[in-house]
Amino acid sequence: MRIGVVAVQGDVREHLRALGRLGIEAVPVLKPVHLEGVKGLVFPGGESTAIWRLLKWSGLVEPIEELHREGIPIFGTCAGMVLLAKEIVNWPERFFGFIDIAVERNASGRQVDSFETELEVKAIGRVPAVFIRAPYIRRVGPGVEILAEHEGAPVMAREGRVLVASFHPELTDDLRVYELFLKMCA
């Protein structure tokens, strides 16, 4: 199975490595031709404003929207979650809007407040979670399933074929969040 990782900016290498460890053919996506034949797409951590601009200037926004319409599963971590959310409460732009949630950018604060912890994730159990200037979910639509919370704020959610997490499973050795996503892609 081939999974694409959006590779214009961010911690692409970590996502490629995590998928590779699960025996998946993971391909970096820098231009539209790289999306051919992918059965799933991952948005990495990074800066959402930078990734969005690069996607726009690289002609990738429409091909990714087309992929979404075709029903290809999409997973976003941190900045990836911001890019996939329908609404951003503290930022004037809206990006892809594939999942009916409102997120607050940098909700966990500046870098000195970034942290690691353990989370209880539905259907998985306890997973290590690294939060870096992390976005939190402030509103969820009726079709959205909350998969994990931290101090009362939803930090992982799924709607249909779109999965999002505020934290970075790619920075840990625990691959169960990827396994959950790969099940959606199968």
Inter-residue contact 88 to 94 (CB < 8 Å): yes
Rule CB under 8 A: choose which of 23, 33, 71, 112 binds another protein: 112
Residue 53 makes contact with another protein by CB under 8 A: yes
Locate 74 and state its tokens: 């999409």
Give the CA distances from residue 169 to residues 95, 127, 166, in Å, rounded to whole numbers and listed in that order.
22, 9, 10
What residues numbered 120-139 form the site for another protein, per CB under 8 A?
130, 132-133
Number of residues interacting with another protein: please give it, by CB under 8 A.
38
Residue 57 makes contact with another protein by CB under 8 A: yes
Which positions are catalytic?
A: 78, 168, 170
Inter-residue contact 180 to 163 (CB < 8 Å): yes
Residue 149 makes contact with another protein by CB under 8 A: no
Residue 94 makes contact with another protein by CB under 8 A: no
Rule CB under 8 A: choose which of 9, 64, 76, 99 binds another protein: 9
Could you tell me what percentage of the chain is helix, strand and coil, using 3-state DSSP and rounding each to the nearest 5? 30, 35, 35
As a whole number of Å, the CA-based R_g of the chain is: 15
Query: Toward another protein, which CB reaches closer, 30 or 175?
Result: 30
Nearest of 106, 46, 108 to residue 76 by alpha carbon:
46
Query: Toward another protein, which CB reaches closer, 40 or 45?
Result: 45
Inter-residue contact 109 to 103 (CB < 8 Å): no
Contact range with another protein by CB under 8 A, out of 35-43, 113-121, 141-149, 154-162: 113-121
Residue 113 makes contact with another protein by CB under 8 A: yes
Which single residue is written with the structure tokens 């998946």?
24
Which of the 8 DSSP states describes residue 122?
A: T
- What residue ranges bind another protein (CB under 8 A)? 7-14, 30-31, 45-47, 49-50, 53-54, 57-58, 78-79, 90-91, 105-106, 110-117, 130, 132-133, 168, 171
